[in-house]
Amino acid sequence: MVESCTNCIMTKMDDPTLTFDEDGVCSLCRKFQGMLAELPGNKEESDKILLPMIEKIKERGKGHPYDCITGVSGGVDSTYVCLLMKRYGLRPLCVHFDNGWNTELAVENINRMIDILGFDLETYVIDWEDFRELQIAYLKSGVIDIEVATDHAIYGSLYSMAIKNDIPFIISGVNTATEDFMPYHWCFDKHDDANIKDIYRKHGSKRPLKNYPFVDARLRRKIKRSNIEVIRILNMLPINIDEMKADITRELGWKPYDGKHHESIFTRFYQGYILPRKFGVDKRKAHLSNLVCAGMTTRQQALAEFQQDIYPPSQAREDLEFVSKKLQFSVEEFEQLMREPPRRHLDFANSRWFFARYPVAKPLLPLWRRYKAWRDA
Ligand SMILES: [Zn+2]
């Protein structure tokens, strides 16, 4: 019999590391409930941390064109963050990260929001050649978190634009209540530039990634010098996904997507096709379990919603052809990649790795690689 959590909709099949307590509640639920308990539970608790933060940001922004900078994707979280900033009188520079995969609906949602709120928008268009090569390397490497290529670059571009424009506050829509319920092995550290570089070195083309916005040691020093602070504003007030959606629909004419993060064609395909086929992972299970734990839906509703097919085979086929073509694979080559065995991120160099922690030892790296090749031969 498959062990299932009595609280959320996860089972041991989804995450073999799950354990269950005497009430049949899984370890992910317990961990997540602990994280939720740290968040403000009501307006009074929220005001105590949020209002001084808003004041601090406004004070620093006096005499500057912007108070803060924020990333906009057209998704619920970032759109709601913009609405909040308007309500609190903040003046953000909004940055849209364009990696070539955004849906038209996402772009429409962003433009409508910007028009209504009267904020300034800059679009950061990533060097497509660089980005495509990196995505291909991730697909070939067999690691699970292919989205690191996008998420890392979002951080890199935001940090760089914050420094360039002398804006010390990044307002982030990343939050615990709707996002932090995630089995450990379903994703990887988005800040680990050492991992990205090694995956590219081993599975990418020989072409150097000249324009990819790495958050590397050099940029990290600049971030520190510029005192850049990342503020997760959605962790500072009680949030409810249905209310957030209702607010942005009513006030900003926001239009919904079928799934979480389906504002990008690649993300839709990654979550609907790559993850289930190659890794046996259905992220909707974590998203829905997340909502159950946060009290935003019931277990019954989550189970019913999970049964709905939000990624029909015709859409999957269309996306498969589109993604393969855009990444310059044939459909057969792509499907072959899906059949190859997964690899762990930790099979590649990473920030926990000796040379990443002690850059001063880097001159010894070629010697170490030769020794490793000899040892593994
Ligand atoms: Zn659970």
Q: How far is the CA of 206 from the centre of ligand 1 (A)?
A: 44
* Ligand 1 mean position, distance from CA 9 (Å): 6
Q: How far is the CA of 44 from the centre of ligand 1 (A)?
A: 30
* 225 in any annotated domain: yes
**CA distances, 148 to each of 24, 52, 80, 376 (Å):** 33, 33, 23, 28
How far does the centroid of ligand 1 lie from the alpha carbon of residue 4, in Å?
8
Asked whether residue 150 is assigned to any structural domain, the reply reads yes
- 17 falls within a domain: no
Beta-ladder partners of 229: 169
The whole-number pLDDT of residue 363 equals 77
What is the DSSP code (8-state) at residue 342? P
Residue 53 burial (CB < 10 Å; 0-12/13-18/19+)? Answer: middle
In a domain, 11, yes or no: no
Q: How far is the CA of 304 from the centre of ligand 1 (A)?
A: 16
**pTM of the complete model:** 0.90
CA of 232 to the centre of ligand 1 (A): 25
With respect to residue 363, please indicate whether it lies within any of the assigned structural domains: no
Asked whether residue 26 is domain-assigned, the answer is no
Query: Scanning the structure block, which residue is given the tokens 């190859």?
Result: 340
- Would residue 288 count as lying in a domain? no
Q: How many domains does the chain have?
A: 1
| 38 CA distance to ligand 1 middle (Å) | 19
Q: Quick one: which of 179, 180, 169, 176 has its CA closest to 85?
A: 169
Positions of the chain with pLDDT lower than 70, given as ranges: 1, 259-261, 355-356, 376
Residue 7 CA, ligand 1 centroid: distance in Å: 5
Q: HSE on the CB side for 79, CA within 13 Å? A: 31
Residue 116: give its domain's CATH number.
3.40.50.620
68 located within any domain = yes
Return the number of other C-beta atoms located less than 10 Å from residue 87's C-beta.
11
Could you tell me the distance, in angstroms and rounded to a whole number, from the CA of residue 8 to the centre of ligand 1?
4
The whole domain housing 66 covers: 41-280+312-339
Pairing between strand 169-172 and 229-232?
Answer: parallel
303 CA distance to ligand 1 middle (Å): 13
- How far does residue 41's CA lie from ligand 1's centre (Å)? 21
From ligand 1's centre to the CA of 95, what distance in Å? 36
How much distance in Å is there from the Cα of 181 to the middle of ligand 1?
A: 10
Write the DSSP string, 62-88. TTSS-SEEEEE-SSHHHHHHHHHHHHT
